[in-house]
Structure 1
Amino acid sequence: MTGSLERLEARVRDWRAREPLVLGLCGAQGSGKSTLAAALAGRLAADGWRVAILSLDDLYLGGEARAALARTIHPLLRTRGVPLTHDVAHGIAVIDAIRAGHSVPLPRFDKARDEPEPAECWPIAPAKLDLLIFEGWCVGARPQGSAALAEPVNTLERDEDPQGCWRHAVDAALAHDYAALFARIDRLVLLAAPGFEIVADWRAEQEETLRRRLIAQGRPTDGLTDRAGVARFVAHYERLTRWILHEMPARADLVLPLDRQRGLSG
């Protein structure tokens, strides 16, 4: 995160003219989005800004809802992550309420349990926010279009989605419901990983950090995965991550290129 916070903070202060400012922060798994968002929020709050953070991950559907998607659309939708596995309508409602100046509960998802947290545990965003940071691995992503989906990008797609049903459904979701959600972003920032190949390493580090925290809290770690599980998990994200790294830099309001240690590379 070396250098990224200072550069991002300077730009956000310049962009403040619109209140509330909805800042989209996109970056591959493990790229440091949550850490950067929290650090930015802390700095600005110290200056009197009213700031809240909404993570796309906290909009994940629970297991039952994803099981229904797996039955009716494609089995790969049982795994959380790609478009279609989020409660997009809820995300839109939260952002619209914040834009209207209201105080609103912010959803939270428990990754260890793979289920949303009970609503009574959600934090409350204060009324009349100055800044909402909306962060997530595919925040602001655009669809690829049918022609780009023909060839599988990895063995997961080749073996488990040979007809392309899963990837076409995901792309269609990006073109419709997710487009409506992402249209509410005022400024888009991309944390650009040096390549998709680093994502599995970053994700494994995340998983280990979460594992240690849960053990320290005396909580179960059954929902976490080993390195082989991580490799399979991130394969679900590969196509769209590669597309974002290719397509988004040309239109993002700010690109923060990262090295393997998550510091600025340029």
Structure 2
Amino acid sequence: MSSEFDSFIRERQLPETFHELIDNYYLPLAVWLEKKRQPDCALVVGICGGQGSGKSTLTEFLRSVWLRMGLRSVGFSLDDLYLTKAEREQLARQIHPLLKTRGVPGTHDVQLGLKTIDALLAADAGSDIALPLFDKSTDDRAPCSEWPHHRGTVDILLLEGWCVGAKPWRNADVPINSLEKNEDPDGSWRNYINRQLAGSYRELFERLDLLLMLKVPDMESVLEWRRLQERKLRERTGGGMDDRALVRFVQHYERITRNLLAEMPARADCVFELGRDHRICGMRLNS
């Protein structure tokens, strides 16, 4: 299978050190997850990790390995469940202006996610199921005609996203950053988000059989990794956020990220510890 791994690395322009990641972590994970699957029953796996943590690459690798193992897998991102631009603008008018910015719980079409997962779990050999697709270049949901399709049965289903599996937090009264202090002084935005986590998002995340966490070192690393992404974007296209806009943007997700780092490692079924260099420096199985 080494030639397939070489192709995977080359096609995605990954560093040669990715071979070590495959041997030490990704391949053992693929085998471990396959063994967790019950006969004639699809396994639903959630992958939680901050921006730049490697969720998409891990998802693609697992699916490529399972394909060679004769397993049918499908994956989609929580990002592809975002509400349309018009729906978020309506939320911004009715609930809070900050809800116009996609990302936090409350800005996804959870019912679409539930409907998609349930359809995939019930799929048979003749099934043809459309998978939601969001176009970040237009900040809107892609037309249904452009959605990818999964045909046939499903052995393993992957749902990845930065807040997959997140739980409500406690003690949200005191702002933790300037965004909350200046733009949400009465807490209406963050309390709305927390109610969503306790409501429909809980139902969505209860569909997961197993939860995998790509654990970033800290909130500061999230900001630095995103800053690096924006710097590369500016060099490539001339666009992207300046540092001030970036700091404000990341603050939208700070409260949930800090809560995830504090409480999820104890309950996730598998935790990958990431170093400040983005590389995995340890793995822990909790089940």
**TM-score scaled by length of structure 2:** 0.84
Amino acid aligned to 1:90: L
Query: In 2, Cα distance between the equivalents of 1:245 and 1:94?
Result: 28
1:258 aligns with 2:279: no
Letter in 1 for 2:191: H
Q: 1:50·1:126 contact (CA, 8 Å) conserved in 2? A: no
Q: Distance in 2 between matches of 1:60 and 1:250?
A: 28
Corresponding residue for residue 179 of structure 2? 156
Structure 1 residue 226 corresponds to structure 2 residue 249: no
Q: Structure 1 residues 210 and 13 mapped into 2: Cα distance closer, same or farther (>3 Å)?
A: farther
Q: How many residues are treated as equivalent by the alignment? A: 257
Aligned twin of 2:75: 53
1:193 corresponds to which letter in structure 2? V
Alignment of 1:75-224 (within 5 A): 75-101=97-123, 102-145=127-170, 148-207=171-230, 224=240
Larger radius of gyration: 2
Q: Check the 8 A contact 1:108/1:116 in 2, yes or no.
A: yes
| CA shift for structure 1 position 25 | 0.3
Give the letter for the 1:53 counterpart: G
TM-score by length of 1: 0.90
Change (3 A) 1:193 1:62: same
1:74 and 2:87 matched: no
Structure 2 Cα separation of the partners of residues 210 and 4 of structure 1: 29
Task: Give the drift of 1:229.
Answer: 2.4
Instruction: Give the Cα–Cα distance (whole angstroms) in 2 for the partners of residues 9 and 227 of structure 1.
Output: 38
Matched, 1:13 2:34: yes
RMSD, matched Cα:
1.9
Kept in 2, the 8 Å contact 1:189–1:252? The answer is yes
Q: What corresponds to 1:31 in structure 2?
A: 53
Hey, what's the Cα distance between the residues in 1 that align with 2:233 and 2:128?
30
> What is the alpha-carbon distance in structure 2 between the residues aligned to residue 236 and residue 204 of structure 1?
15
Of all paired residues, the percent bearing the same amino acid is 46
Following superposition, the deviation at residue 203 of structure 1 comes to 2.1
Report the Cα distance in structure 1 between the residues aligned to 2:60 and 2:233, rounded to whole angstroms: 17
Distance across 2 between alignment mates of 1:234 and 1:29: 10
Going from structure 1 to structure 2, the CA distance change for 1:205 and 1:39 (only over 3 Å counts) comes to farther
Q: Aligned AA for 2:225?
A: W
Q: Is the 8 A contact 1:82 1:236 kept in 2?
A: yes
* Partner residue, 1:237: 253
The unaligned stretches of length 5 or more in structure 2 are 1-17, 283-287
Q: Name the structure, 1 or 2, with higher relative contact order (CA <8 Å, separation 6+).
A: 1
Cα deviation, residue 225, structure 1: 2.8
